[in-house]
């Protein structure tokens, strides 16, 4: 499974209107990438690579 880079924290100096958008987006991405330790692991996205690693599909099954 490939490792995605961590999402940096929202700078405290960021304008409030932008911060209101960026903060929940960061949280959502961390949950979907499995990087948020407070989230439910069942909320993580499943990738094609995960399915291949589990033997549920092969590379030949991938869409082109």
**Is residue 33 included in any domain, yes or no?**
yes
pLDDT digits (tens, 9 = 90+) for 7-63: 899 999 999 999 999 999 999 999 999 999 999 999 999 999 999 999 999 999 999
Q: Which structural domain range is residue 56 located in?
A: 16-61
Answer whether 0.75 is exceeded by the pTM: no
**Is residue 1 included in any domain, yes or no?**
no
**Is residue 39 included in any domain, yes or no?**
yes
Please answer whether residues 15 and 62 qualify as being in contact, where contact means their C-beta atoms are separated by less than 8 angstroms. no
Q: CA 34, CA 7: separation in Å to the nearest integer?
A: 12
**Is residue 11 included in any domain, yes or no?**
no
**What's the total number of domains in the chain?**
1
């Amino acid at each position: 499974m490939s490792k995605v880079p961590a999402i940096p924290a929202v700078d405290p100096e960021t304008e409030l209107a932008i911060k209101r958008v960026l903060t929940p987006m960061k949280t959502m991405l961390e949950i979907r990438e499995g990087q948020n330790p407070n989230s439910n692991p069942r909320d993580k996205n499943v990738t094609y690579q995960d399915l291949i690693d589990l033997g549920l599909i092969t590379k030949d099954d991938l869409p082109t």
